[in-house]
């Protein structure tokens, strides 16, 4: 799984003009699922997202997690995180999991994060054309890959 994690002041998702999810202070996470991802990847990534200390403490240092600040989480599926651009100018998405594999893992990570945070995770709609608005706070943006856990 690949995740682009952004600390935000606010973020929202709309599908066909209807808001499907919105948060104030918290994290916007764009999530891509690869064909060989498993439940263990979802468990590891959910734990990292919820416990990552990227919110300011009283001294302005990044020492607080989403759990500590009671922030929201907006989780958006995004297969394009697996774009391969090596050949030509049209990206290939061959490494992205097909919907029948990706959607259950996406739903699994939503449930895991909801349980860890003890709150409903806000979402988009899997496979839909979504419009995402956000105000990145910091800016703080972190990219994670469950296939490269040693570097994250």
- How do the pLDDT tens digits run along the chain, 152 residues long? 999 999 999 999 999 999 999 999 999 999 999 999 999 999 999 999 999 999 999 999 999 999 999 999 999 999 999 998 988 899 999 999 999 999 999 999 999 999 999 999 999 999 999 999 999 999 999 999 998 887 76
Which CATH architecture does the domain made up of 2-151 adopt? 3-Layer(bba) Sandwich (3.50)
d(CA 44, CA 139): 24
Annotated catalytic residue, options 20, 24, 80, 123: 80
> How many helices, marked H, and strands, marked E, lie in the chain?
3, 8
Residue matched to tokens 């599926």: 77
Angle CA(61)–CA(63)–CA(69) in degrees, nearest 5? 110
Q: Are the CB atoms for 13 and 123 separated by under 8 Å?
A: yes
Residue matched to tokens 């860890």: 116
Residue 80 annotated as catalytic: yes
Sequence ranges of the domains in the chain: 2-151
Q: Which two tokens stand for residue 111?
A: 């449930």
């Amino acid at each position: 799984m690949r995740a682009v994690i952004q600390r935000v002041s606010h973020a929202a998702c709309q599908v066909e003009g209807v808001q499907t999810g919105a948060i104030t202070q918290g994290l916007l996470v764009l999530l891509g699922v690869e064909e060989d991802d498993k439940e263990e990847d979802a468990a590891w990534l959910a734990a990292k997202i919820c416990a990552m200390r990227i919110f300011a403490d009283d001294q302005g240092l990044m020492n607080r997690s989403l759990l500590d600040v009671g922030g929201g989480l907006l989780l958006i599926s995004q297969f394009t995180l697996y774009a391969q651009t090596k050949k030509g100018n049209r990206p290939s998405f061959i490494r992205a999991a097909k919907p029948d594999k990706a959607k259950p893992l996406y739903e699994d990570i939503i449930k895991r994060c909801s349980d860890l945070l003890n709150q409903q995770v806000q979402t988009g709609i899997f496979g839909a054309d979504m419009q995402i608005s956000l105000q990145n706070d910091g800016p703080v943006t972190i990219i994670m890959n469950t296939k490269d856990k040693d570097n994250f």
